[in-house]
Structure 1
Amino acid sequence: MKKALIVGINDYPIAPLTGCENDAYAIKSILDTNGDGSPNFDIELKLNVSTKSELKTLIIDLFKGDSDVALLYFSGHGYIDDLGGGFLVTPDAQKNDLGVGMDEVLNYANVSKCKNKVIILDCCHSGVFGSPSGNNNKADIGDGITILTASKSDEVSLENIGGHGVFTTLLLEALKGGAADLRGHITPGSIYAFIDQALGAWDQRPVFKTNINKFVSLRQVNPQIPMQTLREITRLFPSPTEQIDLDPSFEFTNDKTIEHEYIEPFAIPENVEIFKKLQQMNKVGLVIPVDEEHMYFAAMNGKSCKLTALGFHYWRLVKDKRI
């Protein structure tokens, strides 16, 4: 079971925001289902939460129970005080009582029995989450907790990229499939890598912190290669260092019924089927031709093909029956 609390606050009496409701709506929409339309997260969407008490209650409720995944997404104002403590600011903020402390949120996550706790913050100074503050000399990020924030502790989080924050714009692209692996799995780690690569050295920098022994999939999209084809990698390559010798019989266009130059050996249906799978693997970086730029010429010129480093990685996963 996977559940998520999605919070977006625009309506601050002082310094109102414009994109946080849009952020929350969009994140809710994408996390609702997987790429094939199947149910994903059970979501509580809360817009313009008005008080610290209400937000704290929602967060406490999120981390109750023993769900497989409990995810908190917050888009709004963030603040860091003179002691280095961070806050998720609520509209009822006042001097010395700005909102829900980030340390409080971490404490609720730490004591939660949920197996995976994922905290995603698109607010200024969000990178302070999970860092030492006040008189504490260390941060206590408990088992199963993953933190992904829009900016470092001393940075602001920018708005207004197509009606969304800069960070959430990239987060949405990652969840749509930009951060998916070959199997279509999207994890917090792959999301961070996607966002990190998209932002330059002068941009706000995302922060990633985690204490887990295995990444959890936040969303699944269609795999880049059919799983049945991927699982044949160990049959096609009995050894990961083995090369498959090719010849013109693997290329389906090398057929006497097609009017163009063709050479022997002519296309053999069995080899053609193997070659189609090898070409699919080539498209996603698992296989490369040897001494030729394209798989077509490797076949027509009697060369070979081999696994890439990525191909070896998936070969091992298939061999060990992990996929």
Structure 2
Amino acid sequence: MIVACDNYQDSALQKLRAPTRDAEALTRVLQDPLIGGFDVRSLVNEPAHVVAEAVEEFFTDRGTEDLLLLHFSCHGVKDADGELYFAVANTKLRYLGATGVAADFVNRRMNRSRSRRIVLLLDCCYAGAFERGMTHRAGTGVNVEEQLSGRGRAVITASSAMEYAFESGNLADVSSEGPSAFTGALVEGLASGERIETRTV
């Protein structure tokens, strides 16, 4: 399942250019019967309750050998306690608990799934500041391993070089007409079979 968001109702969350293209490119390669042959569901610019329900449904009633892949391409933000949220269309930075998709929620759904073959792809940044007028940068203290790791699970994240959210008030991901650097490399690697540098937890 692919979750992508590039349009946000909250003006403090700047529009992104790559997520829709990420979803399209990854869907094509995953559905290709010669590469992945996956049955792909793609959610683009949906509100939190739609995404949360889809995530829960995705991990429910699965067999232990089912291979499940979940991809997020969106802003990633942290609350004051350092908890990670995935920002979707209706996310409000001041009300993350009610309007964001909590990483903890995703983690609990994965833990309850019978599948022991889960791949989670995170193409998002981790913003450490939430108020308007502040400089948002990718934080380093997200502790993805603690929040999303588990048995039979691979978590693959965009590197710090892929910081396209906020920096000095400007959107960094403005030069490419294709997918983001992270998802683009992933798609290319899947299509060509070439090795991709990853970190698994």
State the TM bucket, normalised to the shorter chain.
Answer: 0.7 to 0.9
Question: Cα distance 1:156–1:16, how it changes in 2: closer, same or farther (>3 A)?
Answer: same
- Residue deviations 1:145-177, cap 9 Å, x none? 11001135x973453433221111111111112
Contact 1:12–1:90, Cα closer than 8 Å, also in 2: yes
RCO higher in structure (CA 8 A, sep ≥6): 2
Contact 2:48–2:101, Cα closer than 8 Å, also in 1: yes
- Residue deviations 1:109-141, cap 9 Å, x none? 111111311110111129836344xxxxxx572
Q: 1:283 maps to which residue?
A: none
* Residue identity in the other structure for 1:172: V
Structure 1 residue 82: deviation in Å? 2.6
Q: 1:46 maps to which residue?
A: 43
Identical columns (%): 27
Structure 1 residue 178: deviation in Å? 4.2
Question: Cα distance 1:12–1:117, how it changes in 2: closer, same or farther (>3 A)?
Answer: same
Q: 1:32 maps to which residue?
A: 31
Q: 2:180 maps to which residue?
A: 165
Superposed CA RMSD: 2.5
Q: 1:113 maps to which residue?
A: 114
Equivalent in 148, 151, 158 of residue 150 of structure 1: 158
* Residue identity in the other structure for 1:30: V
3-state SS, counterpart of residue 72 of structure 1 = strand
3-state SS, counterpart of residue 42 of structure 1 = coil
Inter-partner Cα distance in structure 2 for 1:22 and 1:52: 20
3-state SS, counterpart of residue 93 of structure 1 = coil
Q: 1:130 maps to which residue?
A: 144
Q: Any residues of structure 2 matched to 1:222-301 within 5 Å, and which?
A: none
3-state SS, counterpart of residue 41 of structure 2 = strand
Inter-partner Cα distance in structure 1 for 2:53 and 2:101: 10
TM-score for the superposition, normalised by structure 1: 0.48
Question: Cα distance 1:151–1:21, how it changes in 2: closer, same or farther (>3 A)?
Answer: same
Contact 2:162–2:181, Cα closer than 8 Å, also in 1: no
Q: 1:60 maps to which residue?
A: 56
- Residue deviations 1:239-283, cap 9 Å, x none? xxxxxxxxxxxxxxxxxxxxxxxxxxxxxxxxxxxxxxxxxxxxx
Q: 1:92 maps to which residue?
A: 90
Question: Cα distance 1:140–1:92, how it changes in 2: closer, same or farther (>3 A)?
Answer: closer
Q: 2:75 maps to which residue?
A: 77
* Residue identity in the other structure for 1:86: L
Question: Cα distance 1:147–1:140, how it changes in 2: closer, same or farther (>3 A)?
Answer: closer
Which stretches in structure 2 are left out of the alignment for 5+ residues? 127-137, 165-171
Inter-partner Cα distance in structure 2 for 1:93 and 1:100: 8
Inter-partner Cα distance in structure 2 for 1:144 and 1:34: 24
Structure 1 residue 25: deviation in Å? 0.6
TM-score for the superposition, normalised by structure 2: 0.75
* Residue identity in the other structure for 2:58: L
* Residue identity in the other structure for 1:91: A
3-state SS, counterpart of residue 91 of structure 1 = coil
Inter-partner Cα distance in structure 1 for 2:53 and 2:112: 15
Equivalent in 6, 10, 21 of residue 2 of structure 2: 6
